Amino acid sequence: MFNEKQTNAYKNITAPMELRERVLNTEKQPTVSGKTSSLKVIRNITTLAACVCLIVAVGFGLNSNKSFTVSMNGTNLSQEAMPLSTARASYSVAAANEKELLEIPLEITLSGEADVTANGGTIQNYSSENGKTSVVWLIDADCEETYTLEIKSGKDSCTVMLIFNNAENLWKISCTNK
C-alpha cells in the first residue's frame, strides 16, 4: 500500500523542540476547565438540597402523629393502660351498684386549637399556658361503664379511655392516637 519512500518520510517527521515540550508538559498537568468546576459546584449544591429536603420530610413524617401529647401527673399516657392512681389501693372500693367521684387531672400539650368531648362526666378547671392546656375530668364513675375523652386537633385525634379492671380492683387509663 505504501512504498518504502513514503514510509521513511513518515518516520522522519519531527516537531520543533518547543512544541514537543509543550505537548509533553500538558499531559502531566491536570486539566481544569471552567465548565467542569461549575458542574461540580452545581452537583454539590443539588446534593446538599436533596439531603436537606429528605431530613425535613423525615422530621415531618416522624412528628405528624405527635401533634399533641396527653399526660397525667407528669406521665405521658400511652396505649398501654396504667393505673389511674398509685394511692388507689388505700381507698375502699365502691360496691357494684355505687358510683364514685373520680377527679382526673390531664395536661394536653399542643401547638394549635383542639376540640375536647367526653362521653361521661364534665371537664372543669380549664387553663391554658405556653401551649399546655390543663383540664380536670370529673366523672361520677360506675364500675360497669367505660368512659372516653376525645381530643381532636386538625386531622389528628386521641382517645383517652377509662376502664375499671375488676381483677386488679382499680381504674386504668390509656390514650390511643388515631
- Per DSSP, 96 falls in state T
Q: What is the pLDDT along the chain (178 residues), one digit of tens a residue?
A: 789 998 898 888 887 888 878 877 876 666 555 556 777 888 888 888 888 877 877 766 555 545 678 878 778 787 788 887 643 333 344 444 567 788 888 888 877 777 888 888 888 867 777 778 888 888 888 888 888 888 887 778 888 888 888 888 888 888 888 7
- Strands (E) across the chain are located at 68-72, 75-76, 82-83, 99-110, 115-118, 122-129, 132-142, 146-153, 156-165, 170-177
